[in-house]
Amino acid sequence: MEFTKQFKEYAASIGCDLVGIAPIERFAGLAPERHPASIFPEVKSVIVVGKRIPRGALRGVEEGTQFNTYNCYGYAWLEDRFLSMITVKTAEFLENNKWEAIPMINLPVEMGPMGVPVQPGNPAPNVLIDFDDAAVRAGLGEIGYLRAFVTPQFGARQRFYIILTDAVLDPTPVLKEDLCERSKKFAEYCPLGAIDASNEETIEIAGKKMKVAAIDFKKCAQCKNGAMPNRRHPSGKPDRLAALCMRTYMAHLEKAGRVENKFVNQFRTRPPWVVQGEREIIGEGSDIE
């Protein structure tokens, strides 16, 4: 549809790296507490917009010499400035074309409701959408073995916001191919033993099945290897995108040729720094093949 093309072209022109569109029907079966239609009953399309985390934003963490760069350009500013501006501008584009558009911030679903239902039949506010779940439904990628979202374009390096709209847009197909090899070896990327490859489960979203390992997020909350607390809410999962596990995973995906965003040089060319955990660190050098 011509309007969908115009919308995507506009989003790209203002720096949006990823756009996925899920028709609301793909959310069938979700609980009202998680359902976009609880927020906007007339919603027809759930748009997931994404901004890449520059690989360079991870460099200071990888070297153990500069953590603020990631905190700003990979985390706080990326979400609160760059991605939030893209989200509101694309929402404005829709409203300039007479479609209501609700820009939504990515809040951890672990927060739970913060109030009581204000009328019979309503879920308690705030209804919280799981953004990774929505991004699968919107065709942007998959949830990898280490429970981080993976896209063909950037691997694990991106963040998402959402726009709900009553515009009917061309859906993005749910990604069929597998991006993550889902190897038990990936559990060895964590020096604290937080990833348990003996305890896997398969999650299914919009017909896409994804095998993931159990992760002890309590250990991640204590991790000094580049993980950061969830800055939205203390009950939210820690931010692991700059942690040793995810940097090693990123280096692996790049080396395996599974990321479209290519670089002249490899990300990891020497052993990463690590605060030693309870098991010996492996994954030194470029990868643990």
The site for ligand SF4 (CB under 6 A) is made up of 190, 192, 194-195, 215, 219-220, 223, 225, 227, 240, 243-245
Is there a cis peptide before residue 126, judged by omega within 30 degrees of 0?
yes
Q: How far is CA 58 from CA 184, 241, 255, in A?
A: 25, 9, 17
Phi, psi of 160 (to 5 degrees): -125, 145
Tokens 């709209």 correspond to 165
Q: Give me 267's structure tokens.
A: 């990300």
**Please, what sign has the CA dihedral across residues 70, 75, 81, 87?**
positive
CB of 55 vs ligand SF4, minimal distance in Å:
18
- Cβ distance to ligand SF4 smaller for residue 45 or 225: 225
In whole angstroms, give the CA distance from residue 258 to residue 254. 6
Least Cβ distance, residue 223 to ligand SF4 (angstroms) = 3
CA distances from 165 to 101, 106, 171 (A): 4, 17, 13
Min CB(285)–ligand SF4 separation in Å: 17
Tell me whether residue 100 or residue 110 sits nearer to ligand SF4 (CB atom).
110
Q: For residues 32 and 229, which CB has a smaller minimum distance to ligand SF4 in the complex?
A: 229
The answer to whether 83 and 49 are in contact (CB under 8 A) is: yes
Contacts of 279 by beta carbon, 8 Å cutoff, 6+ apart? 191, 192, 193
E strands, the chain, are 18-23, 45-52, 101-104, 142-143, 149-150, 158-165, 195-205, 208-215
Residue with Cβ nearer ligand SF4 (207 or 229): 229
Comparison of 162 and 227: residue with beta carbon closer to ligand SF4: 227
Dihedral (C-alpha) 25, 31, 34, 35: value to the nearest 10 degrees?
30
Kindly state the smallest distance separating residue 15's Cβ from ligand SF4, in Å. 29
Between 22 and 143, CB nearer to ligand SF4:
143
Cβ closest to ligand SF4, residue 103 vs residue 226? 226
In whole angstroms, the minimum distance from the beta carbon of 159 to ligand SF4 comes to: 17
**Nearest-approach distance from CB 211 to ligand SF4, in angstroms:** 17
Q: How far is the CB of 274 from ligand SF4 (least distance, A)?
A: 9
